[in-house]
Amino acid sequence: MTEITFNNPKKIFFIGIGGISMSGLAEILHYNDFEISGSDMKSSAITERLENLGIQVFIGHKSSNISDKYDLVVHTAAVKEDNPEFQEAQKLNIPLVDRAELLGQIMNNYKYSIAVSGTHGKTTTTSMLSHILLEGKKDPTISVGGILNVIKGNIRVGEKDFFVTEACEYYNSFLKLNPQVGIILNVEADHLDFFKDLDEIVESFNCFAKKIPSDGILVVNGDINEYDSLVSNLHCKIVSFGSDMNKHDYSADNIEYNALAHGSYDLIYKGKKLDRIQLQVTGLHNIYNSLSAIASSLELGITLDDIKEGLLQFNGTQRRFEYKGTVSGVTIIDDYAHHPTEILATLTATENYPHKRVWCVFQPHTYTRTKAFLDEFATSLSLADKIIVTDIYAAREKDPGDIHATDLLNKLTELGKEAYYISSFDDIECFLLQNCADGDLLITMGAGDINIIGEELLGN
C-alpha cells in the first residue's frame, strides 16, 4: 500500500468517515498536515466535529466525491465493492486500503505503539493506559473505541513517542497492525461468523503476537487456557499477569471492594508486593485489566506513582458499567456486555454494588452469537434476579430464521428464572416503571441501542 509517513503528507479520502474509529484516524492525519476528505451516509455529531476541524465531509456515497487528486482511499470492512466511491477509486487507479491497514501504517510513525487485544476489555484497558500515559506527561496519541471523558471523545492527538489503540481480532484486522507493545487480555470463542472455532482464534492471536518485533514486549494473561499456544515461537519479551503470584510476573493479592464495588489490591511483582492499588471501576475483571495496564506501563518506564494516580483518575468509559442516574429510587446502569463472559463479569460485579434486586434488560447482539452461545447466555444472565429479553440486534447480519430472542427466554425459564420477552422499547419502559421498586438496580445491557431505555426512563 501507499506508505503513510508524517513527514510526507498526502491527500486521503475516507469512505465512512463518520464511524468512531475512522473519524479518529482522519483526525490524527489531519493534525499531521494531511489533506483529508470523506463521506458518510448521514450527518452526525462526529461529522459536524470533523467539519469544524476543516475536514470536508460529503453526505451520501457518490462517485462524484472521488477525483484523481487523492493519493489514497480508505474504507471500512463494511464497504462493499459495489459502493460507487469504491468503484470510482478503482476506475481512477487510486490505491484502496481498509481501516486496519491504515492504522498499521500510522503506528509505524511512533516510537512506542501499544495495541490492546482480547475478546473482552479492550476499550477499558486502552482507557486505563491512556490515563496513565497522560498522568505520566507522555503526551500520547490515543485511539479508543468508546468515549473517554478525559479526552472528551475517542481520539487525542499528541506527540510522536506514544500511541495507544485497540486491536480487534474480527476479520483478523489486528494482523495488519505493527505494535511495539502488544497486550492480550483474554482469548475466547467469539465472532464465529468469521472464525471456524476457538483453535483458529488462538492461532490468530499467536500471529498477532508474532507481529511484535524482537525488541518489543508482549503482555499476556497467563491464566488463558491456551497460553502455551499463544506464546509459542515468539521472539519478543513476554510479560505475564494473572492469578498465581508464584507463576506470573504480575498478580493481585488481598483484593477488596468498597461500597460501590470498586476494587483495591496489593500489586505483586515476581512474588513481592510493590504497592496498594485503588481502582474507581467495578469488578474482578477490571482488576485484571488494570494488571495488564500496570505491567505495560512499568515496562515502558512509567513510575508507579504516575500509574497509581492515573488509575485512580479513571472512572470508566461510556457504556461500561456506566451510571446513568436514579429514578424513583431505582439506580440505572448501562453496560456494553454482549458476550456471556462479559455478562457474567458485569453481573458478578453487582454482588458488591448496593441493591435490593437486580433487573437486567438484555438485547442479544447478532444472530450467530446468540445461537452459538444460547446456553451460556442463559447461565450468565441467570445471575440477575429478573430478566427482560428484547429482540436480537442484527447489526451486520440478516435474520436466518433459526434463532429468536424467545429461544433465550425459554432457556432462562428452564433455569427457573423470572424472565420476560418484550419486543417494544416503549412496552419495556412501561413494564419497568410498574414493577421496579425503590432500591432496585436496573442494568440495560448489550452492544446495540438498548441504552435508549435507561435514557428514556430518566427523561434524557
Q: Enumerate the active-site residues.
A: 122-123, 166
Question: Per the annotation, does 121 bind a ligand?
Answer: yes
* 281 contact partners, CB below 8 Å, separation of at least 6: 124, 262, 263, 314, 315, 316, 320, 321
> For residue 228, what is its C-alpha cell?
502455551
Residue tagged 485511539 (cell numbers): 143
Question: Per the annotation, does 76 bind a ligand?
Answer: no
Core vs surface per residue 241-255: b (16+ CB within 10 A) or e: bbeebeebbbbbeee
Instruction: Please tell me whether residue 48 adopts helix, strand or coil conformation.
Output: helix
The DSSP H or E segment spanning 456 is: helix 451-457
Confirm if 269 and 339 have CB atoms less than 8 A apart: no
Distance, in Å, from the CA atom of 95 to the CA atom of 98, rounded to the nearest integer, reads 10
Question: Per the annotation, does 123 bind a ligand?
Answer: yes
Confirm if 285 and 107 have CB atoms less than 8 A apart: no
> For residue 105, what is its C-alpha cell?
501504517
Question: Per the annotation, does 124 bind a ligand?
Answer: yes
Distance, in Å, from the CA atom of 302 to the CA atom of 299, rounded to the nearest integer, reads 8
Distance, in Å, from the CA atom of 136 to the CA atom of 144, rounded to the nearest integer, reads 19
State the alpha helices, DSSP H only, in 108-237. 122-135, 198-210, 227-230
Distance, in Å, from the CA atom of 156 to the CA atom of 31, rounded to the nearest integer, reads 10
Question: Per the annotation, does 119 bind a ligand?
Answer: yes
Q: C-alpha distances in angstroms, 443 versus 253, 309, 343? A: 29, 29, 11
Q: If we measure between CA atoms, which residue out of 327, 278, 279 comes closest to residue 439?
A: 327
Q: At what angle do helices 20-31 and 45-52 cross, to 10 degrees?
A: 10
Q: What residues pair up with 58 in beta bridges, in sequence order?
A: 39
The DSSP H or E segment spanning 281 is: strand 272-282
Distance, in Å, from the CA atom of 278 to the CA atom of 377, rounded to the nearest integer, reads 31
Binding site membership for ATP: which residues? 118-124
Binding site membership: which residues? 118-124
